[in-house]
Amino acid sequence: MTAHRIRAVRSTNAGIRVVEQDEPPGEGVEVVMATASICGSDLGFIAMGPLSFVLGHELAGWVDGRPVAIEPRLWCGECEECAIGATQRCTRETRVIGCFSDGGMADVFRVPRTALVPLPESLSVTNACLVEPIAVALHALRQGRVAPGMAVGVVGGGAVGLAVVACLRSIGVTAIVEARHPHQRAAVERLGGVNAKVRDADVVIEATGADSGVERSVAGVRPGGRVVIAGLFHGPVPVPGLPMLAKEVELVGSMMYGRHGTTREIDEAATLLAAHPDIADALITHRFPLSEAPRAFAAAADRSGGAIKVVVDAE
């Protein structure tokens, strides 16, 4: 009997490589990968050099023939944060699939059954890796307590910023967006946003993860408004002091997604993506087969080269 080897994408001494291993990465139910998309956070991880874990947290695949997306943040279900539905703030379980523990950019991977997100019938599994970043955007808007009728600005035209634009459109809010690259500005328009300087916004979503993005967000919010930090900062978040104090800006952190009541935000994201297939058309700019994962990561890193979301497909 010949063992079936599993191909998995890792950051190695030689860069991104597709490496074979005997067992699927992770623990739990087996998922046959369909698609995995590359996140800005993945690019941050691989800049650290060789990593001990298989990459990939934006995932979709098949479990026993049923299409699913994956909620990568694991949680205990027993702590005070889990009790109120804030599973993203779970104090006992801090693992995230594909972020310093094994992810799913592999032929087959394993996850706890609770991480499975069944897909609405009209959502293609080939686009469902985007359910995860859409959930990030929905949660950022919830953290900003955004409601229809508000003026909302978005600083940053990467995948998170654009996902926020799409989520705002779904509640009838036209986002004002500061995006750097021409292809990002084109996507803003496709998703119903307006490219302009953010001024006097009730809420600004910081979606760059860069120092200058925080400064622009505070500059663009109205007195008494809110800035949601949705970009990923590993170090300090440098807030310009006097403008923040003078306007009494409320700064709110946002990390991944959780639940409100019994509803998972990631299920809401799947519903939203199913209802608006043009979101995937606007966000997915590149596709590569798993065997060409090194090229996929190179394309994702080249922001000026037109990449928004780069997707790795099963072959």
Binding site for Zn ion (CB under 5 A): 39, 75-76, 79, 82, 90, 92
Tokens read off for 49 = 């050099």
Q: For the chain, what percentages of helix, strand and coil (3-state, to nearest 5) are there?
A: 35, 30, 40
Nearer to Zn ion, 73 or 198 (CB): 73
Shortest gap between Cβ of 160 and Zn ion (angstroms)?
Answer: 8
Shortest gap between Cβ of 190 and Zn ion (angstroms)?
Answer: 21
Residue 250 Cα to chain centre, angstroms: 23
Shortest gap between Cβ of 117 and Zn ion (angstroms)?
Answer: 15
Nearer to Zn ion, 82 or 296 (CB): 82
User: Nearest residue by C-beta to Zn ion?
Assistant: 39
Let me know the angle formed at the C-alpha of 117 by 136 and 4, rounded to the nearest 5 degrees: 110
Nearer to Zn ion, 75 or 109 (CB): 75
Shortest gap between Cβ of 200 and Zn ion (angstroms)?
Answer: 31
Nearer to Zn ion, 78 or 302 (CB): 78
Q: What is the DSSP string of 194-260?
A: EES---SEEEEEE-S-SHHHHHHHHHHEEEEEEEEE-S--SS-----HHHHHHHTPEEEE--S--EE
Shortest gap between Cβ of 139 and Zn ion (angstroms)?
Answer: 12
DSSP 225: E
Nearer to Zn ion, 227 or 300 (CB): 300
Let me know the angle formed at the C-alpha of 258 by 257 and 263, rounded to the nearest 5 degrees: 125
**H-run or E-run covering 195:** strand 194-195
